[in-house]
Structure 1
Amino acid sequence: MKVKKKTRFLFICLFVVCLALVGCQQDNESGSESQGKETSSANQVLKVSANDIATINTLGSYDVPSSIVMNNIFEGLYRLDENNEPTPGIAKSYEVSDDQLSYTFKLREGAEWSNGTPVTAHDFEYAWKRAHSSSTLSPFSYLMAPLKNSIAIQTKDHELFDKVDELGIKATDDYTLQVELENPSPYFLSLLTTPVFFPQNQEFVESQGENYALGTDHLIYNGPFTLEDWKQGASWTYKKNKDYWGAESVAIDSIEANVINDTATAVNMFESGELDAIGLSAEFVDQYSSTPEYKSSLDPTVYFIRMNQQNKYLANVNIRKALDLGWNKKDIESILNNGSLAAHFVVPKEFTKDESGKDFRAKYDGFNETNTQEATEYWNKGLKELGVKEIELELLSYDSDITKTVAQYVKNQLEKNLPGLTLNVNQQPSKQKLDLEAKQDYELSYSGWSPDYHDPISFLEIFHTNNPYNWMNFSNKEFDQLIDAAYKETDIAKRWGNLQEAERILIEENAAVSPMFQAGKTTLTKTNVKGIADHPYGGNKTYKWVKIN
């Protein structure tokens, strides 16, 4: 997922959680409508700072801030619980076949859209097929690759291209959904927590036409909250959804979200009681780190610099290696001062472990450690091959205080260590930046990725030649073959070997991206606010369990 993360972020932020699905037609049920029911007689309003929303269409090109909103106003078959385990949402149970290729989901009969229409299995079948149709193709349809015929339907020269009725999904009745997979997928349930797998009501979508999801008047909701008063780039309000099947377990009445790019402003509003929860930047960490409101954590979000190989200079591998090796990434840790780690990788640390408890990063701690002498050698070699003495490049970045500081540091380091380089920084609001990146109208881009589901491939598949988020013209046959093999491999050791080699090819051999840092996160939350659930993937944040004491 793009981090605004995000890019996507982005900001923000896992995966071979091997969901042991055993036994013929094994029944799995772990939630009920009565679980955790609590109500409050007092009007409870949570006030938070937020990043701007790119879209509220679950089939759109969403980033982390958008996915947070969608996770709270919609609900799929499953959602992540407070312990970040997939738990039943609209589904109440499922059965899986012995070969783990066939899933049968039973849906709750009390779930409704905010207009009173029942949420049915047909809504999921419609949305999933719509995500595959060439006329409404979702940028995140690649996440649906485990579904039977998904890849074939999206492949233009395949005989099944655009034949969405061949997709491995069928509503056998209003409350039964049959799903067929191409290959066993150990992370399938975690995939279901991502917005592209959420339902859409066909009658309502078609009644809205091209206006669907362009504003709050053009949406219906099936999640814990509805969305009101959305002002692009400014603010919005979540209201408790009285039609939500689990409304009795939602204690809070509304959430006021304000887009605040300046941390000092957010801190002042927090101190004055205008905000209950905010993100914190480096200059405030020492001031608040010993307070009970402060929290620090390591996210599974990795920031990196995309290098658009459509640019003639960046098509040269020696120039790319010079740019990757030519700046001291370790300094980022002190600059950010929020627990972030210098990164020489794209799959984060402490994200996925195998059955023995070994971290994915154990084989390769990273690639291309900073080496300014080696960077200069690559730089001079690249300049000679290109027949130039100077190069001017532009670094596309976000417009927040933090990204401005980091981008300026990278500029200063590279201009100092690579003679003849001029690096200009172009800061843009999130939506505009993502648009430029998606159109590949950039040279270098301060980007990043948070996982969409609990598996290392979530960070690597975006660099596959055919992935819709390969926004930098990178293509490597061996890399693609390793990713394709990992989709089908069921042996975890072999699968991880494929993915680890793919990451090495991406960074060490090709310097397709320059990893920057794995994100730390520091926040301030009022001590009387409990139950904000942060997730490492999927919807990233859930408010349905929030209580204000």
Structure 2
Amino acid sequence: MKKRRLTAALLCAVLAASTVLSGCGGKKTTEGGSAAAGTEAGKNEAGKGEDGGKPVVYTELYSGEVTTLNYLVSASEADFKTAAYCIDTLIEYDSEGKIRPGQATEWEYDEASKTWTFHLREAKWVDNTGAPVADVTAQDFVDAIKYQLTPEYESGIVQNLFGVIANAKAYYNGLVYNGGADEDGVVWNAVDFSEVGVKAVDDHTLTYTLETEVPYFLSSLAYIVYMPAYGPQLEELGKTFATAADKMYYNGSYYMSEFSPQERRIYKKNTLNYDADIVYIDEIQKIYNAESTTIGPEMIKRGEIDYAEITADILDDWMSNEDTKNLISRERPRNSYSYFYCFNFDPQFDAEYEPDNWRKAVNNENFRKALSSALNKTKEVAVLEPNVPEDYVINTITPAKFTFNADGTDFTEIGDMAALGDTFNEAKAVEYRDLAKSELAAEGVTFPVKVLLPYNPTEVNWDKECQVVEQQMESLLGTDFIDIIVQTGPTDGFLTEIRRNGKYAMLKCNWGADYADPETWTDPFYQAKGESGYDLGYKYANLAKAIEDGTPSADAVLEYFTTIEEAKDIKVDINARYEAFAKAEATLINHALVVPFSISVSKYLATKLNVFEGQYAPFGVSNLKYKGQHLQDHYISMEEFEANKEKAGQ
């Protein structure tokens, strides 16, 4: 059997082709990690601070509550932040975006069997008091996969395993259909879990056998779907796993000592963690306040919290005021998130917003192109970034500088993607509007078409963005053509209530990359045959509904889906793979099935953290961690931010 060790050159060939920021590394040995601090017996004595001094406590406000702590089922970043702080993955990324050992100290890949083998370090699970409860073993990674593959737990991320881990989909569908046929007539018989490609060889040796070659597999291990969980606890608690701080165990840098919904979340340093010596913050306090966007800056002035966003409506005043101008810096620039507007092809909103009328309108390509061409992205981004909004506008779903082919060519400059330009065009918008009017009138559509546009009130300035969209679109296209209805959504559970339940006509959505490959940017949109967007829990826009209903948009959606399937089948030839994915994304945009909008705008902040000390990768959960960051005794100024940025080579 031919076994391939991950030498630096080989890992570069696999990962550098996918992202310039993913570091190259071979068969890894521990670099920068330490032996577990503290003792393995008794209480985990966290919170004493460096050198036994006063504990270092970081405090910030939050305004939107999580829907669950269960990182094995949720696809929402807000929900799995706790896991990012508290659960160690097999590999992770350092502050420069280079792979480093995590729970695994070394690994190798066997080409013949398509099997990755990971060798785990000694580690402990601790409870919400910091007391050790069990060893972390390879079986905990296996049991976490099995939990996600159990349909009754309704995991919203399980599809990340399908087509990657051998027999994962077959096992899952075997439980769903139990020998019956799916909607396409495919019979799914029961499959024993022993046939799924994840195995605990012994306590410290874990293997993943892939269904096929997966160029990006190693990078995907920094995502929540491959996080471990203590198996006996999963078996005991089932659906109640991670419903409270004392209903989960922790193996990461922190453990959650308190979770009081709409009050506070408290995280304390896990001194039994292998990297405890580079965890410099002893306690993280997240305090709930529904008015955090307005109260936070005032508390910064009084020095009561360590972080707050500085919103556009007060930014100028803060920048011109001698007392506050040196309190402002920015978050670390990142291209791990893309924002875009989705049109809902399966509206489930109330009758007063005329869902049937919208369904007819949205399936007309000229109607979608009219709205797409009328969206002045720069003007809307200016709500968040008034100085250089054009720096954040994008014309693709995949951000530039996220991923590169084997020749080093940026994915956004490959094939059909290279021809994509700014979708905003006033003359074209009017032209598309007139064509759509004529075509839709013939189908019995009534005007103005009501366009339900919800927003999350806990997101800073989202309401103002919606107002800009309403004003510019209605002004250009006419209120006799569209009636954009800006609606305030719920403060808690916005994604579940609005997007996942189809209660919108048009909605600004985002997606964060899960691994280093362009395929990750298809996950919000692509649906395999028989899969429901609602059942999957995270499919945006429900594009497949157009195919199901045989609407005028069916051909465009089918073309996109088919091209995605062709691209996924290309496993080795990176250039051909990227060319195919570029063709698919161009299809999605050229038919105005979605509207690209922006990358993450670097927010203006008041913070006592050097944001360039934190872990970084343009995918996964690395950006959410506090490991490696020092809490300063002052708020970072813009001058200091720029110096830190230059020092980090950003």
Which TM-score applies when normalising by structure 2? Answer: 0.75
Displacement of 1:500 in angstroms is 0.9
Partner residue of 1:3?
Answer: none
Q: Output the CA distance in 2 between the equivalents of 1:230 and 1:69.
A: 10
- Structure 1, 478-487 or 512-521: larger mean CA deviation: 478-487
Displacement of 1:198 in angstroms is 0.6
Contact 1:44 1:548 in 2 (8 A): yes
Partner residue of 1:299?
Answer: 334
1:486 counterpart = 2:542: no
Q: Output the CA distance in 2 between the equivalents of 1:62 and 1:303.
A: 16
Match of 1:83 among 93, 96, 106: 96
Q: Output the CA distance in 2 between the equivalents of 1:357 and 1:530.
A: 25
CA shift digits 1:371-422 (9 cap, x unpaired): 2232223223333333233211211211133211111111111111222211
- Structure 1, 387-396 or 403-412: larger mean CA deviation: 387-396
Task: Look up the SS of the partner of 2:135 in the other structure.
Answer: coil
Task: Look up the SS of the partner of 1:342 in the other structure.
Answer: coil
Partner residue of 1:46?
Answer: 58
Match of 1:141 among 145, 151, 158: 158
Q: Output the CA distance in 2 between the equivalents of 1:220 and 1:164.
A: 24
Which amino acid letter does the alignment assign opposite residue 80 of structure 1? Answer: Y
Alignment of 1:16-415 (within 5 A): 16-17=18-19, 27-31=27-31, 33-34=33-34, 39-42=50-53, 43-50=55-62, 52=64, 53-99=66-112, 101-114=114-127, 115-144=132-161, 145-155=163-173, 156=182, 157=186, 159=188, 163-259=192-288, 262-286=292-316, 287-288=318-319, 291=326, 293-300=328-335, 301-310=337-346, 311-337=359-385, 341-363=392-414, 364=417, 366-367=420-421, 369-387=423-441, 388-399=446-457, 400-415=459-474
Change beyond 3 A, Cα 1:175–1:359 = same
Change beyond 3 A, Cα 1:528–1:82 = closer
The number of aligned residues is 532
Displacement of 1:41 in angstroms is 2.5
Contact 1:530 1:547 in 2 (8 A): no
Q: Output the CA distance in 2 between the equivalents of 1:394 and 1:249.
A: 48
Which amino acid letter does the alignment assign opposite residue 31 of structure 1? Answer: E
Percent sequence identity over aligned pairs: 25
Q: Output the CA distance in 1 between the equivalents of 2:95 and 2:50.
A: 18
Q: Output the CA distance in 1 between the equivalents of 2:56 and 2:192.
A: 48
Match of 1:416 among 455, 468, 475: 475
Displacement of 1:99 in angstroms is 4.9
Contact 1:325 1:375 in 2 (8 A): yes
Change beyond 3 A, Cα 1:328–1:79 = same
Task: Look up the SS of the partner of 2:360 in the other structure.
Answer: coil
Contact 1:40 1:251 in 2 (8 A): no
Q: Output the CA distance in 2 between the equivalents of 1:21 and 1:153.
A: 34
- Structure 1, 521-530 or 224-233: larger mean CA deviation: 521-530
CA shift digits 1:305-325 (9 cap, x unpaired): 211112332222222111111
Task: Flag the structure with higher strand content.
Answer: 1
Displacement of 1:173 in angstroms is 1.2
Task: Flag the structure with higher helix content.
Answer: 2
Which TM-score applies when normalising by structure 1? Answer: 0.88
Displacement of 1:192 in angstroms is 0.8
Contact 1:80 1:86 in 2 (8 A): yes
- Structure 1, 199-208 or 92-101: larger mean CA deviation: 92-101
Which amino acid letter does the alignment assign opposite residue 512 of structure 1? Answer: L
Larger of the two Rg values belongs to structure: 2
Task: Look up the SS of the partner of 1:336 in the other structure.
Answer: coil
Contact 1:324 1:368 in 2 (8 A): no
Displacement of 1:503 in angstroms is 0.8
Q: Output the CA distance in 2 between the equivalents of 1:101 and 1:74.
A: 27
Contact 2:342 2:541 in 1 (8 A): yes
Listed as ranges, the gaps of 5+ residues in structure 1 are: 1-13
Q: Output the CA distance in 2 between the equivalents of 1:110 and 1:514.
A: 46
Q: Output the CA distance in 1 between the equivalents of 2:262 and 2:371.
A: 33
Question: Per chain length, whose mean CA-contact separation is higher, i.e. which structure has more relative contact order (CA < 8 Å, sep 6+)?
Answer: 1
Displacement of 1:65 in angstroms is 2.6
Which amino acid letter does the alignment assign opposite residue 275 of structure 1? Answer: I
Listed as ranges, the gaps of 5+ residues in structure 2 are: 1-15, 38-48, 174-181, 347-358, 545-556, 633-650
Which amino acid letter does the alignment assign opposite residue 238 of structure 2? Answer: G
